[in-house]
Amino acid sequence: MAGSVRAASILLVLLLAGLPARAFEAKILDSVVSVLPLWPGYEEGHMQGKAPTDEPEGTAVAIRAGGYLATALHIVDKAEAITVRLADGRMRPAELVGRDRATDLAVLKIAHDLPVPPFGPEPALGAPVCTLGNPLGLDLSVTCGVVSGLRRSGVGFNPIEDFIQTDAVVNPGASGGALLDGQGRLVGLLSAIFTKESDADIGVNFAVSLAMVRRVAGDLIELGRVRWAAPGFALIELRRSERQALVGMRVLDVEPDGAAERAGLQVGDIVTAVAGRPARSVEGAMASVYLHRPGESLTIELMRDGTPRTLALTLPR
């Protein structure tokens, strides 16, 4: 009965937010679980005795058939054991398959095959989105808002960031939850809350893009670790005086006989886009590189002596 009431409440929120009923009919609720890590010195999933900055519980989303779940690493990194609570309340032990500290992502596996939610494209700026997570250990809950920003990097949470920013309310425990677009498709994994001195939500929240989640989770499932490829170049921001006429990042260094040199990149080039994404920050440009696996190729758009060029860079295996 409790599960039916919860499902009906979530359906109502989705409908009020403008999401079609089929977003719920796609069983997105069954694709998301609450994560109960057993931390040293604490009771499983209990908030008593925890510091205000600690995550009481967390959330995970089915990312691949076979019981594979994507979650935020900071939820489970210190755990001695991990249990997940399914949407209907049943409990399942979970195995930590792999972790990646650079993106704060982890993959869990349970002996229960959950439906994988439909994957959506990158949402548009201002598009409606909803989150489905386990805030403050209160069980799965929905909040809705809009996309406030795309391809956020250099925010400061992780070494590698490719965030979707949203004003949908996110609180501790919702990390690892689903960010859904207007069609009820998964577009990101909830990751971080931007605050000043507390965990209170101020409407600046971040979800790892689905592209980065799939990139990292795929490696963790198949290899147990993430393989990052060195592109062979370093960038630096343009001087303020240069920004009156130029947009992009200057090539500071090119590794001898590296991937960038073989592609034809030169020190002093102004990189304007990487893999089709505008190069508006060093971190953003490098995130565009890291979305690609070793052996894959990507385009580098640049200006050299006032002339636009496009190079094809193949990442080393």
Q: Is the dihedral of CA 263, 264, 270, 276 positive or negative?
A: negative
Q: Is the dihedral of CA 138, 139, 142, 146 positive or negative?
A: positive
Question: Is there a catalytic annotation at residue 104?
Answer: yes
Amino acid at 212: M
Instruction: Decide: 103 and 216 in contact? Cβ < 8 Å.
Output: yes
Separation of alpha carbons 228 and 111, rounded Å: 29
Provide the token pair at 215.
């990139």
Separation of alpha carbons 36 and 84, rounded Å: 6
Rg (CA), the chain: 21
Question: Is there a catalytic annotation at residue 112?
Answer: no
Provide the token pair at 308.
């636009």
Backbone angles phi, psi at 62, to 5 degrees: -60, 130
Separation of alpha carbons 65 and 56, rounded Å: 27
Question: Is there a catalytic annotation at residue 46?
Answer: no
Separation of alpha carbons 317 and 310, rounded Å: 22
Q: Which one from 31, 34, 100, 104 is the annotated catalytic residue?
A: 104
Burial of 178 (0-12, 13-18, 19+ CB in 10 A): buried
The full length of the chain comes to 317
Separation of alpha carbons 243 and 248, rounded Å: 8
- Strand-strand pairing, 128-133 and 233-237: unpaired
Q: Which one from 74, 141, 219, 288 is the annotated catalytic residue?
A: 74
Q: Which one from 31, 141, 148, 175 is the annotated catalytic residue?
A: 175
The residues annotated with a catalytic role in the active site are 74, 104, 175
